[in-house]
Amino acid sequence: MCRHIAYLGPPARLGEVLVRPEHGLLRQSWAPRHQRYGTVNADGFGVGWYAAGDPVPGRYRRAGPLWADPSFADLARVVRTTALLAAVRDATAPGADAEAPAAPFAAGPWLFSHNGALRDWPDSVAPLAASLPALDLLALEARNDSAFVWALVLRRLRSGDDLGEALAAAVAALVAATPESRLNLLLTDGAAIAATAWGDTLWYLADPGRSAVAVASEPYDDDPRWTAVPDRSLVLATRTTVLVIPFKEPPR
């Protein structure tokens, strides 16, 4: 239902990661090669990136398709970064929240995206919602399942969990509440990436020699070093290392 990507590495223009590759996120917005659910990602998009010396990322999000935004083309041409997270969206259900449901979601140093859907949303997660402080629910950026998943992850991050622990805990809680959900999650703080493969495709491309790594829903080119992540796995990546950890059944 969506495609997303996170990148860490040498300074690169947004367009070098998202637009220039033959099968980059721009092309994935209308012609993804590995998407299992949906065919066109035209219900919004967003990119978040980190500037030198500033731990809080900037964001650019819109409600329409990536290919129809000339302002983004200008942004992608000139903005350089060593870390980004971007996504294109295929909405699970219609809504009226404009760009708010489009990833990446953000708080402090973190950027987050959810590729998937919560089964029987919102009824299936009512007990989980009741466990969150009222202020967390009132602060939801949008009235969709991805914003709720982000609230669960953010709660764990603010309690001191690292990136991988926060994603694993959220997946465990959500699978217990709604087992047939799809939970491909992507999270970065600009220094590391954590991701989960749960119900849709996930790949990574590691280039330790350049101190670069990309974790994405699908490869943006035909580089043979792209590696598919097994379903029900947690990925922890830095610029020089990638660790893939299988979830137990159910994850704990």
- Catalytic one of 1, 2, 147, 166: 2
Domains annotated for the chain, with CATH where assigned, are 2-246 (3.60.20.10)
Strand, helix or coil for residue 85: strand
Which pLDDT score, from 0 to 100, does residue 21 have?
A: 97
Establish whether the linkage from the previous residue to 94 is cis, with ω within 30° of 0: no
DSSP class of residue 16 equals H
162 is an active site residue: no
CA torsion, points 40, 44, 50, 54, in degrees to nearest 10? -170
Q: What is the reported pLDDT for 252?
A: 44
| 112-129 average pLDDT score | 95
Q: Would the pLDDT of 235 be above 60? A: yes
Over residues 25-80, the pLDDT tens digits come to 999 999 999 998 888 888 899 999 999 999 999 999 999 999 999 999 999 999 99
Question: What's the burial of 22, exposed, middle or buried (CB within 10 Å: 0-12/13-18/19+)?
Answer: exposed
Q: Report pLDDT digits (tens) over 199-218.
A: 999 999 999 999 999 999 99
